[in-house]
């Protein structure tokens, strides 16, 4: 036996940042092209991808009984069942050419059809799966019956319409690969990089895991030829998470959870002993690390109990079985020891081999008794009837004879010929059977051969269809009629029929007679078709198909009726044979529609009124109006009339009163049209024919008034043109009016500075002022010629009175000033100069 193991130590060298995703499919019909098939198992999403590496030639197990996600673009692959996903990444940019084969065993020849589709490049697995799930086209694919395919990146790859040479891979590129297993058989996918300059990184794969040895020792058979297999699995560098599953191809498994310590002992119970090769497979769930080991199951012996035997009662029998080491017979029999079989019996032998496995065989010993069989006939037999045949309790051979000899018997078969028997009444015959088997004795039986009855079915009869007739036969004990008739039981035949009666006497012997029942068909009375009318209308009642008619209610054929509600009328026609048939006419009365012209309403002059009739399908309006189309009515009260017709063609009328009033006349005037920011405008309402007024001042504010004499105001803080809208409402219609006011920017400030002042309290030029227009803030600083701060002015009306900040009079001379002024336009203005103080 050979240990088949997968060495994952070889997977740590290459392939970084190129991502492949492997999807394996298995289909039901292995001899079709790979495009066919579909999976019935669970869908395997792209997000379940496992790492994949081609640093060295390596075998990955394929997959069956899964299905691919729907809605993806698989390129040239027309079907993709049974997916499994893998990925890997590249460390060194360049080209790749990867050969893929599929075989039934690890390292075996390529025998299973394989196909693929390739996507990319992407930046990572998540982005790649998102793009594929979004329907991105593959960049390369192959759809053929070959067991070998080639993927190319920067090199040729694919076949047929899916062949291509994509650009070479760059570091960090991501690709996606899909493979199919069209032949469905379990096996392995082998990847080997046969060309290209690119290098990938295998560090993304669980490193170093290696299953070194697997042992398997089957036990002896237990009850029902079951056995167990035990052994050990030794390994290096197992994964730190997940499970280790040890399974037997002949059934059963044992699962171990991380952490894993080598070696691990296992036992799988309840296996069937069949002598075949069974494979133990050990595989870790969180890394691609698999190993297998083959052993031979215990075999079940083939037991031969010998041939079946037939003996006469009292003769000894010997049963001698072969094929095993020990034997146990049922019925108290010992192997190879003679015994007396009292009766026919099947004996079962159980043979057990040295490995504890066992099987059985059976031998039937038929013991023939000498006088226990019987012979009989179905009695009585009727003259000119079926020839009676013997019924014997055992399949034995011999000769038959009969007495008296007025009838003949076949001595080989025992069949009695009654076709020419001369019998005037019933007579009993004795049949003798002499068997040729010496184990059995002669036996006799009796049979009655009886005469037949004479049956009379009665006279032929003529009736109308649907009438009843009674058939009454005589001359026998019981009777059977054709056509489902029952003797002396009335029934109603539907057509002229000849009925055959069979009569039976007390021995079951029969005779037949016939009776013809002629059925006159009913006249083809047909009333007019059912009709629908509107209430108040009338319709004619007319029937055909017979010479005379009778209508319900005393109506004569061809009369007109006008029922107020739905009514069914019945007519009966009678033909020359007196046969009658009835038909009916349903006169369905449609009630007149309850046409509704709509509620009383009010509209403004020159505003349209839209008539809307209800409970009809067609309408005819006064004022040349059309239903649900606008119409303009004059000032005042207007009555609108409508005739409505429903889906049954029935009509009715209604009316509606429409009041037409004067519309609002909207107007207003502002007290000014131009202002500066912060200006308050007053608006005067000049409207007519309204009672509610909505103002929109276009500055974010609005108001509603109810009096035309009420003026409104609004302040505007920012520059711009404002369209003020007034909407006048009389409760029925609204009219707007608009006008525009303008907010213009403040002008630049004007600044006047005197160059001399005389603070001598004479009332003239006593203070130093800056005269400013369009300014809102001021600061003036006064300095002497030595740069000392003398005074500050912060009010346009304050000025400098010629004193220092401690209240003393400043000396005469020239002083330096500088100012900073904020204008209403929010701009700052600065300046400086000299002023002369004289007293």
Query: Tokens 């068997």 identify what position?
Result: 435
End-to-end CA distance of the chain: 132
CB–CB of 12/287 below 8 Å?
no
Distance CA 482, CA 587 (A): 44
- 461-464 and 510-520: which strand pairing? parallel
Residue 698 pLDDT = 94
Q: Show the CA angle centred on residue 674, arms to residues 672 and 678, nearest 5°.
A: 95
Residue 435 pLDDT = 87
pLDDT in tens, 355-381: 889 999 999 998 887 777 889 998 888
Mean pLDDT of 445-470: 92
Check whether 516 has a pLDDT greater than 50: yes
Of 199-203, 438-442, 479-483, 492-496, the range with the lowest mean pLDDT is 199-203
Please say whether the dihedral angle defined by the alpha carbons of residues 799, 804, 810 and 813, taken in this order, is positive or negative.
negative
Query: Tokens 């005042």 identify what position?
Result: 636
Q: Given phi > 0 = left and psi -120 to 50 = alpha, else beta, which region is 384? A: left
Phi, psi of 82 (to 5 degrees): 60, 65
Name the helix (H) or strand (E) containing 348. Answer: strand 345-352
CB–CB of 86/53 below 8 Å?
no
DSSP structure class, residue 160: G
CB–CB of 780/817 below 8 Å?
yes
Nearest Cα residue to 21 out of 73, 107, 96, 86: 86
786 or 438, greater pLDDT: 786
E strand segments, 203-308: 210-214, 217-218, 226-236, 243-248, 253-257, 264-272, 277-284, 290-296
Phi, psi of 162 (to 5 degrees): -95, 0
| Beta-bridge partner residues of 789 | 783
Residue 2 pLDDT = 28
Q: Given phi > 0 = left and psi -120 to 50 = alpha, else beta, which region is 645? A: beta
Q: Which domains are present in the chain? A: 8-204 (no CATH), 210-296 (2.60.40.10), 309-368 (no CATH), 375-450 (2.60.40.60), 461-520 (no CATH), 526-590 (2.60.40.10), 601-661 (2.60.40.10), 668-743 (2.60.40.10), 750-837 (2.60.40.1220)
pLDDT in tens, 789-803: 999 999 999 899 999
Nearest Cα residue to 722 out of 736, 739, 704: 739
Mean pLDDT of 38-60: 64
Check whether 493 has a pLDDT greater than 80: yes
Distance CA 501, CA 154 (A): 95
Count of residues in the chain: 839
Query: Hey, what's the torsion of the CAs at 148, 152, 157, 158, to 10 degrees?
Result: 70
Please say whether the dihedral angle defined by the alpha carbons of residues 628, 629, 632 and 633, taken in this order, is positive or negative.
negative
82 or 784, greater pLDDT: 784
Contacts of 561 (CB under 8 A, 6+ apart): 538, 539, 540, 541, 555, 567, 569, 587
Distance CA 64, CA 23 (A): 11
What Å distances lie between residue 550 and 542, 555, 558, 575, 587, CA to CA? 11, 8, 12, 12, 18
CB–CB of 6/292 below 8 Å?
no
Query: Hey, what's the torsion of the CAs at 835, 837, 838, 839, to 10 degrees?
Result: 150
Distance CA 683, CA 153 (A): 80
- 416-417 and 391-392: which strand pairing? unpaired
Check whether 420 has a pLDDT greater than 80: no
CB–CB of 759/829 below 8 Å?
no
Phi, psi of 126 (to 5 degrees): -60, -45
Cβ atoms within 10 Å of 778's Cβ, excluding its own: 19
Of 72-86, 267-281, 519-533, 808-822, the range with the lowest mean pLDDT is 72-86
DSSP letter for each residue of 632-689: ---SEEEEEEEEEE-TTS-EEEEEEEEEEEPPPB--EEES-SEE-TTEEEEEEE--BS
Check whether 24 has a pLDDT greater than 80: no
Check whether 22 has a pLDDT greater than 50: no
- 828-837 and 756-757: which strand pairing? parallel
Residue 287 pLDDT = 76
Residue 441 pLDDT = 79
DSSP structure class, residue 624: T
CB–CB of 107/5 below 8 Å?
no
CB–CB of 408/416 below 8 Å?
yes
Residue 202 pLDDT = 64
Coil, strand or helix: which one is 100?
Answer: strand
Of 68-82, 267-281, 788-802, the range with the lowest mean pLDDT is 68-82
What is the pLDDT confidence band of residue 33, given thresholds at 50, 70 and 90? very low
Q: What is the pTM of this model?
A: 0.33
Average pLDDT, the chain: 87
- 253-257 and 243-248: which strand pairing? antiparallel
Of 315-329, 408-422, 631-645, the range with the lowest mean pLDDT is 408-422
Q: Which residues of 363-390 are buried (b: 16+ CB within 10 A; e: fewer)?
A: bebebbeeeebebebebbbbbebeebeb
696 or 85, greater pLDDT: 696
Enter the tokens of residue 445: 């039986």
pLDDT in tens, 764-778: 999 999 999 999 999
Distance CA 108, CA 264 (A): 29
DSSP structure class, residue 380: -
Residue 670 class from Cβ within 10 Å (0-12 exposed, 13-18 middle, 19+ buried)? middle
What is the pLDDT confidence band of residue 35, given thresholds at 50, 70 and 90? very low
Q: Which residues of 412-432 are buried (b: 16+ CB within 10 A; e: fewer)?
A: eebbbebeebeeeebbebebb
Coil, strand or helix: which one is 223?
Answer: helix
CB–CB of 358/224 below 8 Å?
no
């Amino acid at each position: 036996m050979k240990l088949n193991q997968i060495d994952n130590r070889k997977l740590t060298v290459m392939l970084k940042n190129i991502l492949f995703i492997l999807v394996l499919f298995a289909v039901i019909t292995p001899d079709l092209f790979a495009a066919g098939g579909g999976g019935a198992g669970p869908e395997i999403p792209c997000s379940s991808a496992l790492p994949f590496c081609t640093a060295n030639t390596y075998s990955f197990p394929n997959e069956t009984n899964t299905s691919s996600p729907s809605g993806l673009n698989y390129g040239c692959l027309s079907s993709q069942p049974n997916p499994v996903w893998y990925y890997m990444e590249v460390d060194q940019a360049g080209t790749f050419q990867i050969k893929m084969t599929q075989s039934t065993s690890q390292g075996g020849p390529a025998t299973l059809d394989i196909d693929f589709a390739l996507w990319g490049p992407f930046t990572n697995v998540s982005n790649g799966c998102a793009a594929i799930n979004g329907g991105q086209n593959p960049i390369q694919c192959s759809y053929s019956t070959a067991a070998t395919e080639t993927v190319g990146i920067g090199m040729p790859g694919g076949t047929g319409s899916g062949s291509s040479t994509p650009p070479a891979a760059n570091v960090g590129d991501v690709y996606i690969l899909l493979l199919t297993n069209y032949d469905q058989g379990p096996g392995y996918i082998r990847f080997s990089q046969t060309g290209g300059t690119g290098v990938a990184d295998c560090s993304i794969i669980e490193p170093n895991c290696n299953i070194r040895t697997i042992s398997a020792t089957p036990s002896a058979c237990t009850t029902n030829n079951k056995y167990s297999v035990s052994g050990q699995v030794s390994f290096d560098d197992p994964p730190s998470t997940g499970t280790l599953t040890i399974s037997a191809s002949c059934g059963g498994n044992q699962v171990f959870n991380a952490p894993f310590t080598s070696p691990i002992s296992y036992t799988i119970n309840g296996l069937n002993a069949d002598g075949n090769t069974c494979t133990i497979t050990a595989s870790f769930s969180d890394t691609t690390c698999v190993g297998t080991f083959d052993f031979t199951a215990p075999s079940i012996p083939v037991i031969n109990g010998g041939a079946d035997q037939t003996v006469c009662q009292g003769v000894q029998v010997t049963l001698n079985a072969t094929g095993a080491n020990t034997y146990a017979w049922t019925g108290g029999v010992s192997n190879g020891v003679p015994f007396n079989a009292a009766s026919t019996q099947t004996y079962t032998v159980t043979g057990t081999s040295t490995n504890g496995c066992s099987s059985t065989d059976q031998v039937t010993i038929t013991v023939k008794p000498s006088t226990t069989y019987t012979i009989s006939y179905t009695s009585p037999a009727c003259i000119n009837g079926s020839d009676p045949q013997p019924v014997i309790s055992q399949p034995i051979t011999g000769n038959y004879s009969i007495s008296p000899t007025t009838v003949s018997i076949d001595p080989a078969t025992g069949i009695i010929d009654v076709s020419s028997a001369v019998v005037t009444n019933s007579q009993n015959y004795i049949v003798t059977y002499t068997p040729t088997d010496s184990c059995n004795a002669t036996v006799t039986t009796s049979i009655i051969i009886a005469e037949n009855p004479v049956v009379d079915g009665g006279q032929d009869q003529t009736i109308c269809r649907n009438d009843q007739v009674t058939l009454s036969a005589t001359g026998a004990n019981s009777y059977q009629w054709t056509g489902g008739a029952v003797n002396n039981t009335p029934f109603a035949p539907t057509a002229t029929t000849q009925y055959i009666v069979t009569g039976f006497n007390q021995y079951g012997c029969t005779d037949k007679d016939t009776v013809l029942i002629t059925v006159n068909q009913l006249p083809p009375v047909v009333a007019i078709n059912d009709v629908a009318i509107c209430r108040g209308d009338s319709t004619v009642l007319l029937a055909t198909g017979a010479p005379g008619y009778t209508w319900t209610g005393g109506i004569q054929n061809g009369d007109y009726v006008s029922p107020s509600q739905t009514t069914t009328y019945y007519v009966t026609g009678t033909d020359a044979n007196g046969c009658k048939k009835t038909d009916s006419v349903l006169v369905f009365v449609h009630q007149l529609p309850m046409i509704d012209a709509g509620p009383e309403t009010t509209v403004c002059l020159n505003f349209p009124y839209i008539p809307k009739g209800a409970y009809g399908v067609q309408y005819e309006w006064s004022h040349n109006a059309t239903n649900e189309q606008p119409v303009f009515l004059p000032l005042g009260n207007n009555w609108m009339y409508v005739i409505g017709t429903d889906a049954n063609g029935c009509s009715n009328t209604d009316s509606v009163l429409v009041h037409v009033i004067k519309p609002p006349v909207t107007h207003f005037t502002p007290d000014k049209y131009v202002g500066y920011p912060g200006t308050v405008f007053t608006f005067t309402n000049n409207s007519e024919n309204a009672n509610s007024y909505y103002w929109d001042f276009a500055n974010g504010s609005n108001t509603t008034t109810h009096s035309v004499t009420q003026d409104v105001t609004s302040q505007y803080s920012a520059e711009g043109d404002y369209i003020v809208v007034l909407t006048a409402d009389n409760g029925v219609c609204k009219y707007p009016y608009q006008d525009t006011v303008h907010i213009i920017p403040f002008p630049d400030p004007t600044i006047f500075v005197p160059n001399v002042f005389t603070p001598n309290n004479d009332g003239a030029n006593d203070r130093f002022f800056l005269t400013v227009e369009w300014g809102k803030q001021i600061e003036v600083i006064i300095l002497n010629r030595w740069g000392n701060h003398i005074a500050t002015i912060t009010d346009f009306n304050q000025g400098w009175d010629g004193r220092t900040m401690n209240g003393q009079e400043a000396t005469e001379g020239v002083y330096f000033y500088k100012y900073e002024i904020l204008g209403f336009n929010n701009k700052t203005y600065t300046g400086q100069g000299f002023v002369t103080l004289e007293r």
